Structure formats: structure tokens, C-alpha cells
């Protein structure tokens, strides 16, 4: 089972490189990630954005690319649409968000006629390598689904289960979070968490061990769980934190980065192709790790498709 981002990059290096279409690529952190991914041989790139700016930044940071790899597009919305179109046309395997607002980029991905919808719920996962932790922690969904229903949470969980399997974790421990570890009818996330745990016990959701509700402390700290007398295979040992809504998830994401100094990578799951989606403020290292995660996802999707034929 993969436990660090360096292991993810190493694994990506052993796989065939993917082609990534970058939407609104004229940004230093984005292009540094492109340079680093290119140097490690994990991806090739098609860049959509302000060509003059892309060329100027590339010269400064020592990024080489073929002239034909850049498409001059001035608006970030159009750059997103064209990057998604490149994936649909089979010219790229992965689409990546650059300097464009998340909602604008996601609208291109979700577009009914020209997007990358699969018929399932698309969801976001952020993966963290937290200093002092012995494993990667995955948080879902901090960036796409605003206030998911129980049924949507089922699909968000199914997406993250497949994602964990692609990282070699065949039985991820999933904690459905709330503010407390007991069911409280006044706190709807605790009701959803209990229902999801039961759906897992009864075989309605397979491929993972799910329990909840948990507060954050007893999901990630064995000591905190023992202190509260919680008996569960997930207590203190969660790999995945299912958050109740986008606010909780986004605040957790930014806390992990700014307070805990975690390394991070992030993807949208459930689309017809992997989608790299980090915050515009995230570092080039975070964007490079996300590209490496997308390489593993692309390989996993390809293998699953071949096995289902
Ligand atoms: C964490 C790092 C980066 C960040 O910090 S991100 C910051 C926070 N995130 C955001 O601002 C984005 C949050 N999400 C949104 O704003 C909206 O959900 C989003 C993605 C813009 C879509 O909203 P709208 O444009 O209002 O569109 P809509 O809700 O009417 O949906 C349009 C069509 O898409 C479909 N759709 C929406 N969400 C989906 C999903 N998760 N999976 C699959 N399909 C989905 C929706 O059913 C609709 O379909 P149809 O056209 O009616 O057939």
C-alpha cells in the first residue's frame, strides 16, 4: 500500500506517461509543476492559455516544450472548454485546472454535451501526507459537491473506494464525520453517517470498511478513540474522512495545508477521465503530486475498462 507522495510519483514513473491538457496554464506554479512532471517522465502536456505569458514564464523557469503544444486562448473559461475538448477528442488523457476559478473549470467538466460526465456523481478528493502520520489521509468532498444528500454520499464513497484501490489499499477505512461520535437527530450528518455504516455492514457498499459518526479526533487518533471508549475497526485508523459538506471539507483542506504543513494532491473522481483540481494557491509540488495521482488513476480506469470487456 502506498504511504507517501514520493511513492506515488515513483509508481507513476513506472507507468506509461499520460498527456495532460492544462486549462489556463499561464501561471508560474502551474508551469513549474509541468516542468517537474516532464522531467520525471510521468506526463506530456497540452497547454491552453495566454501564449505570450506561458512562453515568458517557461523561459524564466527552464521549461521546454514543442511550439504546437500551446494553444493561445485569452479567457480562462474558453481555456477550460478547450482543454476538456482535447480529452474528449482523445488528444489528452487527463485535464488539469490552472489559473481559473474552480466553478468555471468544473462547469466545463460537467457540461452535458461537451464535458466528461459519466452518468455518476463526480466528486473531489484531497490526499494529505501529514507530518508525523504513518499513512496518507484522503478527504472527500472539499471542493465540488456543496451539500451532498445521502444518496450522493454513497456515490462519493464509491468514487473514493476505487481511488484507494488504485493506490493499492484494497480495504480502506472510511470515517463518516460529524461534530460528535453519537447519533443525534438534531445533527443530520450523524444520521447519514450511521446509515452509511449500516449500508456497508449489509453489503450495500462494498470494498471498504465504513463507520460513523465520528468526530475528527476519534477518527484519526487511537488514543482519543480509546479515551471515549469507541469500539470500531475504523476508530483512530481512518484512511478516508467523509466530510458532511463543502464548508467542513474546504476548511479542513486549508487547515491541513496552512496549519499542519501537509503535502497535498487532489483530483476529481467519477468522470470519464482523471481531473486534476488543486487550489490556485497550492504549490507546484502539490500540483505535481496531483498529476502523479492522475497517472495512477488513468492506469486504473484503463485496467478496469479492459477487465469489464
Ligand atoms: C479545494 C481546492 C480548491 C477550492 O478551494 S475550490 C472552492 C470551492 N468550490 C467551488 O467553488 C465549486 C463548488 N461547486 C459549485 O459551485 C457547483 O456545484 C458547480 C460545480 C459550479 C455546478 O453548479 P452550477 O453551475 O450551478 O450547475 P448545476 O448545479 O445546475 O449543475 C449543472 C449540471 O451538472 C450536474 N452536476 C452538478 N454537480 C454534479 C456532480 N457532482 N456530479 C455529476 N453531475 C453534476 C447537474 O445535475 C446539472 O445537470 P443537468 O444539466 O441538469 O443535466
ipTM attached to this prediction: 0.97
Q: Is the CB of 250 under 6 A from ligand 1?
A: yes
- Residue of minimum CA distance from atom 25 in ligand 1: 107
We find that the CATH architecture of domain 1-117+271-308 is 3-Layer(aba) Sandwich (3.40)
pLDDT at residue 1, as a whole number: 87
**Confidence class for position 306, pLDDT limits 50, 70, 90:** confident
Query: Does ligand 1 lie within 6 Å of residue 63's CB atom?
Result: no
Distance of CA 188 from the midpoint of ligand 1 (Å):
22
Q: Which atom of ligand 1 is nearest to the CA of 120?
A: 43
**Strand arrangement of the beta sheet that strand 18-23 belongs to:** 70-72, 43-49, 18-23, 94-97, 275-276, 263-269, 123-129, 136-140, 240-242, 173-177, 209-214
Segment 273-303, tens digit of pLDDT: 999 999 999 999 999 999 999 999 999 999 8
The predicted structure's pLDDT at residue 307? 85
Q: Is the pLDDT of residue 65 over 90?
A: no
**Cβ of residue 111 lying under 6 Å from some atom of ligand 1:** no
The pTM (predicted TM-score) of the whole model is 0.97
When the candidates are 3.40.718.10, 3.10.310.30, 3.40.50.10860, 3.30.200.20, the CATH number that belongs to 118-266 is 3.40.718.10
CA pair distance 99, 268, nearest whole angstrom: 17
The CATH 3.40.718.10 portion of the chain extends over 118-266
CA of 123 to the centre of ligand 1 (A): 10
- For the CA of 106, the closest atom of ligand 1 is 20
CA of 185 relative to ligand 1 center, distance in Å: 28
Amino acid at each position: 500500500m502506498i504511504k507517501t507522495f514520493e511513492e506515488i510519483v515513483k509508481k507513476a514513473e513506472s507507468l506509461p506517461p499520460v498527456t495532460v491538457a492544462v486549462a489556463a496554464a499561464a501561471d508560474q506554479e502551474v508551469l513549474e509543476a509541468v516542468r517537474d512532471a516532464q522531467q520525471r517522465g510521468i506526463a506530456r502536456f497540452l497547454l491552453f492559455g495566454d501564449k505570450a505569458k506561458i512562453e515568458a514564464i517557461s523561459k524564466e523557469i527552464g521549461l521546454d516544450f514543442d511550439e504546437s503544444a500551446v494553444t493561445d486562448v485569452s479567457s480562462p473559461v474558453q481555456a477550460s472548454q478547450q482543454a476538456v475538448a482535447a480529452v474528449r477528442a482523445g488528444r489528452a488523457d487527463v485535464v488539469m485546472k490552472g489559473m481559473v476559478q474552480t466553478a468555471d473549470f468544473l462547469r466545463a467538466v460537467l457540461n452535458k454535451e461537451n464535458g466528461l460526465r459519466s452518468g455518476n456523481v463526480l466528486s473531489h478528493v484531497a490526499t494529505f501526507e501529514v507530518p508525523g502520520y504513518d499513512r496518507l489521509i484522503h478527504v472527500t468532498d472539499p471542493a465540488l459537491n456543496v451539500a451532498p444528500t445521502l444518496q450522493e454520499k454513497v456515490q462519493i464513497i464509491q468514487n473514493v473506494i476505487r481511488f484507494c484501490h488504485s493506490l493499492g489499499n484494497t480495504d480502506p477505512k472510511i470515517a463518516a464525520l460529524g461534530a460528535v461520535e453519537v447519533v443525534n437527530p438534531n445533527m443530520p450528518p450523524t444520521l447519514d453517517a450511521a446509515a452509511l455504516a449500516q449500508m456497508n455492514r449489509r453489503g450495500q457498499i462494498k470494498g471498504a470498511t465504513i463507520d460513523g459518526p465520528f468526530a475528527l479526533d476519534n477518527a484519526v487518533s487511537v488514543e482519543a478513540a480509546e479515551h471515549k471508549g469507541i469500539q470500531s475497526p475504523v476508530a483512530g485508523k481512518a484512511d478516508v474522512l467523509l466530510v458532511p459538506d463543502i464548508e467542513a471539507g474546504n476548511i479542513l483542506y486549508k487547515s491541513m495545508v496552512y496549519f499542519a504543513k501537509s503535502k497535498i494532491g487532489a483530483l476529481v473522481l467519477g468522470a470519464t477521465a482523471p481531473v486534476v483540481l488543486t487550489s490556485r494557491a497550492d504549490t507546484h509540488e502539490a500540483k505535481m503530486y496531483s498529476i502523479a495521482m492522475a497517472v495512477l488513476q488513468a492506469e486504473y480506469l484503463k485496467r478496469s475498462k479492459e477487465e469489464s470487456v
